[in-house]
């Protein structure tokens, strides 16, 4: 079913002749404990809690970059932990596989990943395959300063960059983080950064990759008492020289939640995959 959907999705996008598509990737687990009546995991392996039977799906969904309209699933991987199809310690390979799957798919492809997809090596693969990438930074990466005395860490470099614009954003509630729903003013800043390689190469030299960094930070006056401000730090291969271009990157990143909506429909609200095994 999944791979038939991929073929159909790729054919649909290619027939439409899109010059540029976003490919938003995400991972979900399908926990089958309730439907398997506590049977041993067997070939399925276990899910994230290391006990319940189930499997994982990592998929790339193509979206229209103007409105975020879903165009189809264009990449997918299914695996288990300890079962028949086990990636072992290499589950991070899923991000690289999506990049491979969409190479040359349309004249321009922009991959959109959340923090789990923040991998230094992935930037090199993306550039070699002539695709673009937007990723929410997961860690405070080391930088090569752009001038003597400049910031050597990503967080500090962005905090030292003056905001270029303010915009309103509806922030959804997040019970896990104790965050209330609200509409806030967000400060937008952006700059060029050069990430330092986390590993030394030949002759002990460390490489680097030049990217654009965008920070979206909730204004302090809008943050409810007892909560932390919402902060997004985005990295991208796209050129950013204007506020409009920076806001476009933010807009495309926000389309990433379409992937989560699709998984929700697959697992429970729509196809109800978690109830089909028995």
The more confidently predicted of residues 229 and 84 is 229
Per-residue pLDDT band at 38 (split at 50, 70, 90): very low
Q: 159-168 long-range CB contacts below 8 Å, 24 or more apart? A: 159/215, 161/189, 161/190, 161/191, 161/215, 162/189, 163/187, 163/188, 163/189, 163/217, 164/188, 164/189, 164/190, 164/243, 164/246, 165/243, 165/246, 165/247, 166/219, 167/247
The more confidently predicted of residues 83 and 60 is 60
Task: Write the pLDDT tens digit of every residue in 151-202.
Answer: 999 999 999 999 999 999 999 998 888 899 999 999 999 999 999 988 765 5
Q: Does the pLDDT value for residue 81 go beyond 90?
A: no
Alpha helices in 102-151 (DSSP H): 120-128
Q: For strands 231-236 and 132-136, give the pairing.
A: antiparallel
Cα separation of 146 and 193, whole Å?
Answer: 8
Q: To the nearest whole percent, how much of the chain has pLDDT over 70? A: 83
pLDDT recorded at residue 275: 53
Task: Write the pLDDT tens digit of every residue in 100-148.
Answer: 999 888 899 999 999 999 999 999 889 888 899 999 999 999 999 988 8
Contact assessment for residue 127 and residue 121, using Cβ atoms and an 8 Å cutoff: no
Task: Write the pLDDT tens digit of every residue in 235-266.
Answer: 999 999 999 999 999 999 999 887 776 666 66
pLDDT recorded at residue 146: 84
- Range among 37-41, 100-104, 265-269 rated most confident: 100-104
Task: Write the pLDDT tens digit of every residue in 17-35.
Answer: 889 999 999 888 887 776 6
Per-residue pLDDT band at 36 (split at 50, 70, 90): low
Per-residue pLDDT band at 87 (split at 50, 70, 90): low
Q: What is the mean pLDDT of the chain?
A: 85
pLDDT recorded at residue 35: 67
pLDDT recorded at residue 48: 76
Task: Write the pLDDT tens digit of every residue in 42-72.
Answer: 567 777 777 787 888 888 999 999 999 989 8
Contact assessment for residue 86 and residue 45, using Cβ atoms and an 8 Å cutoff: yes
pLDDT recorded at residue 271: 45
């Amino acid at each position: 079913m999944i791979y038939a959907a991929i073929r159909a999705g790729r054919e649909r996008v290619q027939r439409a002749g899109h010059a540029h598509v976003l490919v938003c990737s995400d991972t979900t687990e399908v926990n089958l404990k309730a439907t398997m009546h506590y049977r041993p995991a067997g070939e399925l392996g276990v899910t994230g809690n290391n006990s319940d039977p189930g499997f994982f799906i990592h998929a790339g969904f193509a979206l229209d970059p103007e409105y975020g309209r879903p165009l189809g699933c264009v990449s997918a991987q299914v695996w288990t932990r300890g079962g028949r199809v086990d990636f072992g310690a290499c589950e991070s390979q899923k991000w690289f596989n999506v990049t491979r799957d969409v190479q040359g798919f349309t004249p321009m492809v922009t991959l959109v990943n959340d923090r789990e997809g923040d991998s230094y090596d992935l930037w090199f693969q993306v550039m070699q395959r002539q695709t673009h990438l937007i990723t929410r930074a997961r860690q405070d990466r080391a930088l090569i300063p752009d001038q003597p005395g400049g910031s050597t860490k990503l967080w500090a470099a962005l905090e030292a960059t003056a905001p270029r614009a303010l915009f309103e954003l509806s922030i959804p509630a997040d019970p896990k983080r104790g965050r209330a729903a609200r509409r806030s003013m967000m400060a937008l800043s952006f700059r060029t950064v050069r990430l330092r390689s986390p590993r030394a190469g030949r002759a002990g030299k460390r490489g680097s990759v030049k990217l654009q960094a965008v920070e979206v930070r909730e204004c302090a006056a809008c943050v409810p008492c007892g909560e932390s401000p919402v902060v997004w730090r985005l990295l991208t291969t796209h050129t950013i020289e204007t506020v409009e271009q920076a806001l476009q990157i933010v807009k495309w990143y926000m389309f990433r939640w379409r992937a989560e909506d699709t998984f929700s429909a697959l697992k429970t609200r729509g196809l109800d995959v978690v109830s089909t095994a028995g």
